[in-house]
Amino acid sequence: MDEIETGFAKILEKIDELKKGETEYSEEVRKNDAKLLSRMAETAAPLVKTIGISMLKKGKQDNKGEIYHPQYYPQKMIILGKTETPGVRPDNPQMPVTDQFCVLSEDGELFELMYSFDGFLTDSYLKPLEPRRAIDEYGYDVMFMLYSAMHDYLKGEEALIRALDTVLGYITAKKT
């Protein structure tokens, strides 16, 4: 019976060591999460031309809610996250923000896309967004959305996808 208890104690020690190591790894990854997001954006950029959508820049809305005379941004984008609005747009304090998104453009750049609506005109403001601020404002959702796009559409990079799966698990301290 003594040997069983000793063996059981050693197993518990090993589990504790592994848990400690996992916590250390997850802290290390969290310290570098903005760098990781930046690298993921660069890697996913070629996908945006294929899976991205043309985002509305400006358009008029009729009384049925239909947009006419739409203008779109020249590059396609994928939406990575949505957050609460800051109140007003930085380019025009008279324009309240109705919706705000984190997007990735075809060239691998992150942006905040803010929409305003005055009852007739839907207008937007596109602001460059640093990876650190993207994570702070939108949370790790931006990384998961980008990971999902890479997982579904990035062919021939299975090892990278598995590694990102592991890293995102460490960041959130759970299995993805």
Q: Which of 32, 56, 4, 29 is nearest to 132 (CA)?
A: 32
Measure the CA dihedral 69/85/31/47, to 10°.
-20
Q: CB-hemisphere CA count at 13 Å for 37?
A: 29
Q: Model-level pTM?
A: 0.75
Length reported for the chain? 176
Q: What's the pLDDT band for 66 if we cut at 50, 70, 90?
A: confident
- For residue range 4-57, what is the model confidence (pLDDT) as tens digits? 566 556 655 655 554 555 455 556 667 788 998 999 899 899 999 999 999 999
Q: Report the chain's mean pLDDT, rounded to a whole number.
A: 82
- For residue range 119-168, what is the model confidence (pLDDT) as tens digits? 888 999 999 999 999 999 998 889 888 988 887 877 777 777 777 887 77
* 64 or 112, which is more confident: 112
